[in-house]
Every structure is written in structure tokens, then in C-alpha cells.
Amino acid sequence: MQSNLVYMENFSAVKTIFLSLVFSATLYPAGAQVQQLGLANSNFMGTHSLYTNPAAIADSRQSFYLNLFAAGAGGTNNYFRYESAVSLFKLLKDDLPFEDEYIKENLNGKPKLLSTGAELRGPAFMIRLSPKHSFGFTTRLRGGVQLNNLSENIARLYKVQGGTAEERLNELTENNSLHLNANVLSEIGLSYARVVFDQEKHFLKAGFTVKK
């Protein structure tokens, strides 16, 4: 497949999008995107534990937990990275000029991946029925967008660093491909968990969630 790639001369909007993706990818590693693992692994975060392991609330430290709403977002990619003596936080906070050389491309001839997602949790609540069993109700809205099998030719149309617009005007290239996936889903969940046995060194609890 061949096509003429026309390079855009105005990069302001593209820089904003790419900086946002780099910023989110820096804050959220690929394995922790949107899952809010810092909350989920705590014994004091009630309904947030249900999204990763419903058994977690069996011996909850709280008799009642209410979450009106919580939100999270994340992103990752294997195409570019942010590299500068100025932190991203300071760059955004002080409204400093964004320089092209802050973005480093990974040009290895392989297809690229860019993925981002977000979720909105709540309202949700959890009730401890006794020291050994609990009940929970959760709601959640999730969405994600992924660009995969993205050829470097296409990826570099949106690059922030390297080259000028004139260099790519009317340039004939091959192997131009990409796959775009987008998903949005909502869910309502009912959870129950209890301690199966507690013998000091040996402790077992179980739980389940029914979702619609």
C-alpha cells in the first residue's frame, strides 16, 4: 500500500495530545492502568478492593463504607518517551515552553502501540454484616482507546521531535497501517465475602461478585 503523507505545519494541538499521553504513561505503568492499585490493596478502602478481589472485604476494618465517586485514567505506549531536566509537573504547572527535543522516539522498525483508558467508580457502598462476612454494591463506567500495529510511517505523522514539515510534504511511503479499538462499558455489581477459617497462621477468605 502506498500513499502520499502530508505533514502538518501546525503542531500545537498534536503537542498537547502527545504531552498528555506521555504524562499519563509516566504516571501510570502499563500493568496498573486505571485499576487504582494503591487503593485496591488497602485494608481500609472498602468498595475499591472489590474491583480486583471481592474476598478482600470479608474481614473489613470498617462497618460501613460509602464511595460517592472516584475517577482514574492512564496510558502507555512503546513509541516515544519524555526526557528532559524539567519535570512534566513543573512544565505544566509553570506553563513553560515545550521543546521538540523533550520527546525521544523509539525507531526500531517495529509496529507501535498507544493505549489509554479511564474509569468512573460510584456510587458504591459496603456493609460489614459481622466480623467475618460483608456485602457490597458497586457501579462503574469504563472506557479505553488503543492504537496497535501502528507502522512507524503513520506514527511519525504525529511526532513531536525531529524533522520539519517541508521534509515530509508529498513523501511517498509504504507499509502504512494501523488498528484502532475503542470500548465503553458500564457495570453494576453485587458482592459477598466471608472468612472461611482463621487459625492464626492459616487464614482463608472467599468472595464473589455478580455483575450486570
Tell me the pLDDT tens digit for each residue of 121-155: 999 999 999 989 999 999 999 999 998 998 887 78
Q: pLDDT-derived band of residue 183, with 50, 70 and 90 as boundaries?
A: very high
Which residues touch 1 (CB under 8 Å, ≥6 apart)?
Answer: 174, 175, 176, 177
pLDDT for residue 24 is more than 70: no
CB 46 within 8 A of CB 58: no
Tell me, yes or no, if the pTM score tops 0.85: no
Name which of 118, 125, 164, 141 is nearest 8 in CA terms. Answer: 164
What average pLDDT does range 3-22 have in this prediction?
A: 44
Tell me the pLDDT tens digit for each residue of 87-112: 888 888 888 888 878 888 888 888 99
